[in-house]
Structure 1
Amino acid sequence: MIEIPVWLWGATIGLIVALFVFDLLVAVRRPHAVGLREATFWSVFYIAVAVLFGLALFPLSGSDAGTEYFAGWVVEKSLSVDNLFVFVIILARFSVPEEYQQKVLLFGIAAALALRAVFIAVGAAAISMFSFTFLIFGLVLMWTAVQLIRHRNEDPDVDDNFLVRRTRKIMPLTTDFHGGRMFAHENGHRVMTPLLVVFVAIGSTDLLFALDSIPAVYGVTKEPFIVFAANAFALLGLRALFFLVEGLLLRLVYLSIGLSLILAFIGVKLILAFVHEDVSKSAPEIPTPLSLAVILLILVVTTVASLVRSRSHPEERAHAASLRKRKRKEEQEEEPARS
């Protein structure tokens, strides 16, 4: 049983808020295009912070807490790479200038973390109240894994988003970025700039990713604190990681396959956990150290295979494998039939 003292919750939330405020000051007070050296520095910094936090859990809450945290953090970090694909598409779709990209990414990530905190709380409550929650989580991950494989060569349509469509109807949208502001005045009227729409697109897109990533982390730990910490520290460095691997992303042609294998593996783990707890104690369980080893192995093999494939077939590029584009196509195909 993992014991998480109240003060550790407070200290962790305080650290996360402090890092976000610091990141916000860096990104907003001096808008600029992020170079490779800066992106590398901040990526290494946030990875170091995440690793040090995990190492601190071993003496504070025990080896199980530390191991589960690292497994959850690796899962979240790998799944967040898929988020980066969509970020690239969104920023390109709205032609966001380089000096404003890190600002809108940071606001989007902050909103994503707040929304994920709600999902984590709901997930924890569901697990404590309903014994079949693990079964549902496992089936969701298995279904998602199949969809990732089926639609691995598709990119999402960023305009096919309910919140983005509703945002466009709130007030007039200008094409001018107005110095990086989200609202401005033109000809005596209040208008919203493309940055606000981009912010909504990034935040709402991550909300969809959370529907898979939260159950995935609950597959390696039942402790809400560890789920929250793994999500927070994985998201914290996402802004810097975006600028570091932006060009590399298109070369990870097998990423969707690797992520689908990870989700399928965790889905099986959750289903076995349900069977073990509610059906038969003789059913096998997959220990967290083994889960961590399998996830790392899949990531390494996927990355190496992708880079080898990209080198021999440079014309190929990776995709985000989103389901939204497929649904959009279906709707477009149905419209003529209805008329």
Structure 2
Amino acid sequence: MNITPLVWGITIAVTIAFFVFEYFAHVRKPHAPTIGESARWSVFYIALALLFGVGIGVVSGWTYGGEYFAGYLTEKALSIDNLFVFLIVMTGFAVPKIYQQKVLMIGIVIALIMRGAFIAVGAALIENFSWIFYIFGALLLFLAYRQAFSHGESDPANGKFMTFVRRVLPVSDEYNGDRLFVKKDGRRFVTPMLLVIVAIGFVDLIFAVDSIPAIYGLTNEAYIVFTANAFALMGLRQLYFLIGGLLERLIYLAQGLAVILAFIGVKLVFHALHVNELPFINGGEPVLWIPEIPIWLSLLFIAATVTVATIASLAKTRSDRLRRPVEVTQDIEDARDPRP
């Protein structure tokens, strides 16, 4: 792709404009959005992302269009996993619902800034060091293992990092509207709202480490990486309120993401072997007999994995919910049974 500085400038300006609009139209006045409001804007942003992908396919060719859609789908799936952690943070800090929009908005903006920095660094590394694909591939395989076998014990609201922050900063005991600082008895305190934002920012940093190598495994185009990330993050705030109850039912999402990350990790290692320059691997020559995984197969695999993980999660939670009344009834009958 030949993306001029003008196109980059317009893209970044439009992205910023969308987030500014979001703030003044929805976030500035604290309120808990309705299901209807969340659904309408979620559909709008998803439709906009799909339309942009079609535009890339028409203008630059469907190879790039396929890379965009594969990247967008991967980033959207990772973003939903991000939402689950946001939910844990909100619950851990007991954030009032009317202020959750502001926290999410700030968190999403932080995520976009961090991912933008990682994208720039990743693009520079890929352009100058072909062996970086080995590092990205190994990192994704490690992250896939961690994702598959993590059991959700970690609590970002009360982990070591937040314990350190609380020790360093004077924190008030209660929220004061959506203010970040409050003055009491002549002393300035930070409110729990600021701690929530710090926790969200820390979570965003961790997720950026996951998401950027993952999408660079699907495309080398920094423009596609940025736009796929931007569109995945747009509408994430509305999606949080729309599927908040559904998040807890996606019990196999972590395993599905682990499969996707492992697949892209293998794809990256295969690509690294194809462009190999390391002297201790095949004498510094490319390993051409290993197949490159085509983008259509990547897109199909990612879509199928997300679908299977979602359907399996909903089926399992529905089965558990239907079985629970039977178990409760059996317990009651056992308690009434006078026999020893």
Q: TM-score, normalised by structure 2?
A: 0.88
Structure-2 residue corresponding to 1:134: 133
- The answer for the alignment partner of 1:232 in structure 2 is 230
CA distance in 2, matches of 1:8, 1:62: 17
2:302 equivalent to 1:295 = yes
Residues matched between the structures, number: 314
- CA shift digits 1:212-259 (9 cap, x unpaired): 110000010001111111111111111111111110011111111101
RMSD in angstroms over aligned alpha carbons? Answer: 1.7
Match of 1:249 in 2: 247
Distance change (3 Å), C-alpha of 1:155 and 1:39: farther
Deviation at 1:184, TM superposition (A): 1.8
Shift of 1:125: 1.1
Looking at structure 2, the residues matched to 139 and 128 of structure 1 have their Cα atoms a distance apart, in angstroms, of 19
Residues 182-193 of structure 1 aligned to structure 2 (within 5 Å): 182-193=180-191
Residue deviations 1:68-98, cap 9 Å, x none?
1111010000011111111111101111111
Distance in 2 of aligned mates of 1:152 and 1:289: 32
SS where residue 184 of structure 1 aligns? strand
| Counterpart-to-counterpart distance in 2, 1:26 and 1:259 | 33
What's the counterpart of residue 286 of structure 1? Answer: 293
Equivalence for 1:304: 311
Alignment match, 1:269: 267
The residue that corresponds to 1:217 in the other structure is 215
Paired residue for 2:320? 313
Tell me whether 182-191 or 11-20 shows the greater mean CA deviation: 182-191
Report SS of the residue matched to 1:308: helix
Give yes or no for contact 2:89–2:155 (8 Å, CA) kept in 1: no
2-structure distance, mates of 1:47, 1:121: 25
> Residues 72 and 228 of structure 2 are in contact (CA less than 8 Å); yes or no, is this contact kept in structure 1?
yes
Is this contact kept in 2: 1:27–1:103, CA < 8 A?
no
- TM-score norm. by structure 1 comes to 0.88
Letter of the 2:107 partner, please give it: G
Is the CA contact 1:34–1:98 (under 8 Å) kept in the aligned structure 2?
Answer: no
Q: Secondary structure at the match of 1:70?
A: helix
Answer yes or no: is 1:72 the counterpart of 2:71.
Answer: yes
- Counterpart of 2:137 in 1: which secondary structure? helix
Q: For 1:121, give the aligned amino acid.
A: A
Distance 1:180 1:27 in 2: 15
Matches within 5 A, 1:10-25: 10-25=9-24
Deviation at residue 315 of structure 1 after TM alignment: 9.5
Find the aligned partners of 2:152 and 2:306 in 1 and give their Cα distance: 19
What is the alpha-carbon distance in structure 1 between the residues aligned to residue 228 and residue 28 of structure 2? 28
> Partner of 2:321: helix, strand, or coil?
coil
2:5 partner letter? V
The alpha carbon displacement at 1:143 in A equals 0.9
Matching residue of 2:95: 96
Deviation at 1:165, TM superposition (A): 4.0
Query: Which is further off, 175-184 or 239-248?
Result: 175-184
Question: How far apart in 2 are the matches of 1:53 and 1:189?
Answer: 50
Cα drift, residue 161 of structure 1: 4.8
Shift of 1:169: 4.1
Q: Distance in 1 between the 2:250 and 2:308 partners?
A: 11
In structure 2, the partner of 1:196 is: 194
For the 8 Å contact 2:136–2:213, the answer to whether it is kept is yes
Give the match for residue 283 of structure 2: none
| 2:27–2:105 Cα contact (<8 Å) kept | no
Q: Which residue is equivalent to 2:327?
A: none
SS at structure 2 position matched to 1:190: strand
Q: Which amino acid aligns with 2:87?
A: V
- Residues 153 and 315 from structure 1, CA distance in 2 versus in 1: closer, same or farther, beyond 3 angstroms? farther
Which whole-Å deviations, capped at 9, do the CAs of 1:40-80 have from their partners, x for residues lacking one?
11111111221122122123322222211111010000011
Unaligned stretches of 5+ residues in structure 1: 317-339
- Alignment map for 1:142-161 (pairs within 5 Å): 142-161=141-160
SS class of match (2:67): helix
**Structure 2, unpaired ranges of 5+:** 277-285, 324-340
